Amino acid sequence: MAAPCFLGWDFSTQQLKVIAIDEHLRVIYEDSVHFDKDLPEFKTQGGAYVHSDRLTVTSPVLMWVKALDMILEKMKSSGFNFAQVRALSGAGQQHGSVYWKKGSIQILKNASPELPLHQLLKACFAVSNSPIWMDSSTASQCSNLEKAVGGAQRLAAITGSRAYERFTGNQIAKIYSQNPEVYTQTERISLVSSFAASLFLGAYAPIDYSDGSGMNLLQIWEKVWSASCLDACAPGLEEKLGSPVPSHSVLGSISLYYIQRYGFSPDCKVVAFTGDNPASLAGMRLQEGDIAISLGTSDTLFLWIQEPTPALEGHILCNPVDSQTFMALLCFKNGSLMRERIRDDCASGSWDEFSKALSSTVAGNNGNLGFYFDVMEITPEAVGIHRFNSDNQKVSDFPKEVEIRALIEGQFMAKRIHAEKLGYKVTLTVIVQHLTDLKLNPGAAAKHCSSVTTQVESEFKNNLFSITNVGLKYFFSI
C-alpha cells in the first residue's frame, strides 16, 4: 500500500504551484506552471492584464483552469501516484473574485473525465476576466460603502478593514453598477481560493472565514455576512456568496472527475482553501503572541492576536488556524527597494558596507530619526523622505551611517507602533521571512536579511528566527 501524502496548491498571481508532502512533512513532489511563460496564449504580463485606465487589473479565469489541467497532466506523466493522496487544500491570491454563470453547478458536478477542465468550463463564467488584488478602480464604491455603514472606522469595526479598492465587496459593487446584466447572470461568486476548491470538489465550495475577512463584507466577530455591507454593494448578494465556513473545514470528498481521470482515491478529502496571507500565517505555524515579518518588495507583518482593535490602517482577519481568534495584517510598500536604494546611495551598493555602517552607530541613533517613502506608502498614507534631528527639527540630510540607521530604525519602529495599534502585545516570538522575490542572489539575500534582523530583535525584544521562503503557503493543507 502506497504511503499516504497530502497536496497543497497555491493559485498565486503569476503561477500555479503544487507540493506533495508525506506524513513526516517531507517534500516528495513539487511543480509549477508559470502563466506568462507556460500559457502564452493568454498574453498576460505578470499573470494579469493592466487595462488602459491603468487602474483596472484582471486575470483570465480560464488561464487558472488550464494551468490546473497542465500541472495535473505533468504529474500524471511523471508517474505520480494520485491514489496515495489523502487530502488536499491550498491558497489563492486574496481579494480576487470569480463569477459563475447560472447553470454552471451542473457542469461542475457532471464533468466528463474524457475532457480537460478548461474545455468543460469555458462557458461557465459570467465574467471572463476576474478582478484581482492589484485593481484600484473602485474608489467611488469604497466611498459609497463607508458612507452606507457610518464611516471608515465603523466599517473597520465591522469587517476588520476600512474600504479598500482591491477588496472584493467593492469589486462586486462595481460589476453590479456597470454591468447589471452580468451580475444577474451570476449564480455564485467565489474568491480565488474557494473557486480553486470548487474545481476539486465538483461543487461550489464555501468561502472560508479568513479569506472572507478580506472582502469588506464579513462581520469578523460573528463570522456572518454583514447585511448593511451586502446591501450597500449589490442586491441578493448573500445568496450568491453562500454561507462562510471555518478555514480548516473538511468540505467533502474529491470530485468523481479526478477519480476517473487521474486515479485519485474516492476517500481523498478536500479541505477549505484560504487566502495566501492567512495560509502564510498557518504555514509558519505562528502561535498566539507571535509575529512574522516578511521582507519583500513590500514588507508584511502577520500577527496572531486575541483581542484586536481594528484601525484605519492595517487589516484584522479571522485566524485560519483558530476561528475564535484573529490575525492582523500590515503591509508596508516601501520595503526592500527602499533599503536597496539607501544601500546604493550610502554604502556603494554593498550589504557588507551597509551592515558595517549600521553597526558603527548606536541604538537610538543619538535622537536622529527618518521616515523613507520613495513611493506612496500604505501604512501610513505618506510619501517622501522625512528626516528629524535630536531636537525634532526637520533636516535635509544625514551623514551616511546615520542615514542607514535612521532608515532601519524608522522602518521597524513604525512596524511595532502600527502592530500595537491593532492590538498586538509584545510577548513571544518574531519570525523574519526573507522572500525569494527580492531579486537578490542567495548570498546577498542573507546579507540583506542579517542587516535588519538585529534591529527587529532590538525593537520587538523577542526570540528571533530568520527563514528563507520555501513555499510555506503550501503547508496550510496539513
- Does 476 reside within a domain? no
Q: Give the C-alpha separation, 478 to 459, whole Å.
A: 33
- Does 192 reside within a domain? yes
360 and 246 in a common domain: no
| Of 301-305, 356-360, 391-395, the least confident | 301-305
176 and 73 in a common domain: yes
Q: Which helix (H) or strand (E) holds 315?
A: strand 315-318
Tracing cell 527618518 back to the chain, one arrives at 370
Number of domains in the chain: 2
Q: Average pLDDT over the chain, rounded to whole?
A: 91
Q: Taking a C-beta distance cutoff of 8 angstroms, is the pair 93, 192 a contact? A: yes
Q: Give the C-alpha separation, 279 to 271, whole Å.
A: 13
Q: Taking a C-beta distance cutoff of 8 angstroms, is the pair 246, 208 a contact? A: yes
C-alpha cell at 384: 517622501
Domain limit, last residue, from 262, 278, 294: 278
* Nearest of 417, 420, 340 to residue 372 by alpha carbon: 340
- CATH number for the domain including 132? 3.30.420.40
Task: Report pLDDT for 454.
Answer: 64
Model confidence at 430, pLDDT cuts 50, 70, 90, reads low
Question: What 8-state DSSP symbol labels residue 435?
Answer: P
Q: What percent of the chain clears pLDDT 70, i.e. is strictly above it?
A: 89
C-alpha cell at 87: 487530502
Task: Report pLDDT for 96.
Answer: 98
> Helix (H, G, I), strand (E, B), or coil: what is residue 229?
helix
300 and 201 in a common domain: no
198 and 94 in a common domain: yes
* Nearest of 414, 411, 364, 367 to residue 389 by alpha carbon: 367
135 and 69 in a common domain: yes
344 and 262 in a common domain: no
What's the mean pLDDT in 282-311? Answer: 86
- Does 148 reside within a domain? yes
Q: Give the C-alpha separation, 418 to 305, whole Å.
A: 14
Task: Report pLDDT for 467.
Answer: 59
Q: Taking a C-beta distance cutoff of 8 angstroms, is the pair 185, 101 a contact? A: yes
Q: Interior CA angle at 18 toward 285 and 268, to 5°?
A: 85
Radius of gyration of the chain (CA): 23
Burial class (CB in 10 A: 0-12, 13-18, 19+), 413: middle
* Nearest of 157, 176, 273 to residue 216 by alpha carbon: 157
- Does 478 reside within a domain? no
* Nearest of 405, 401, 406 to residue 388 by alpha carbon: 406
141 and 33 in a common domain: yes
Using CA atoms, how far residue 62 sits from 34, 56, 91, 100, 475, in Å, is 14, 19, 18, 12, 26
- Confidence check: pLDDT of 325 > 90: yes
* Nearest of 13, 154, 180, 10 to residue 95 by alpha carbon: 13
**φ, ψ for residue 201 (rounded to 5)?**
-80, -25
Q: Give the C-alpha separation, 31 to 221, whole Å.
A: 38
Domain limit, last residue, from 278, 298, 326: 278
What's the mean pLDDT in 44-70? Answer: 97
C-alpha cell at 306: 486575541
> Helix (H, G, I), strand (E, B), or coil: what is residue 470?
coil
* Nearest of 340, 286, 284 to residue 452 by alpha carbon: 340
Model confidence at 193, pLDDT cuts 50, 70, 90, reads very high
327 and 262 in a common domain: no
* Nearest of 122, 144, 110, 25 to residue 65 by alpha carbon: 122
Of 114-123, 283-292, 295-304, the range with the highest mean pLDDT is: 114-123
> Helix (H, G, I), strand (E, B), or coil: what is residue 153?
helix
109: containing domain: 5-278
Distance of CA 116 to the CA centre of its chain: 28
- Does 435 reside within a domain? yes
Q: Taking a C-beta distance cutoff of 8 angstroms, is the pair 467, 304 a contact? A: no
Q: Could you write out the DSSP letters of every residue in 256-281?
A: HHHHHHH---TT-EEEPPEEHHHHHH
Domain limit, last residue, from 260, 278, 296: 278
Burial class (CB in 10 A: 0-12, 13-18, 19+), 261: buried
Task: Report pLDDT for 378.
Answer: 84
Task: Report pLDDT for 439.
Answer: 34
Model confidence at 473, pLDDT cuts 50, 70, 90, reads very low
- Does 477 reside within a domain? no
Q: Give the C-alpha separation, 237 to 227, whole Å.
A: 9
- Confidence check: pLDDT of 65 > 50: yes
375 and 327 in a common domain: yes
- Confidence check: pLDDT of 244 > 70: yes
Q: Interior CA angle at 214 toward 210 and 216, to 5°?
A: 125
- Does 475 reside within a domain? no
Q: Where are the beta strands (DSSP E) in 186-268?
A: 186-191, 218-219, 224-225, 250-253
Q: Give the C-alpha separation, 39 to 336, whole Å.
A: 30
What's the mean pLDDT in 428-457? Answer: 53
233 and 317 in a common domain: no
Q: Taking a C-beta distance cutoff of 8 angstroms, is the pair 284, 433 a contact? A: yes
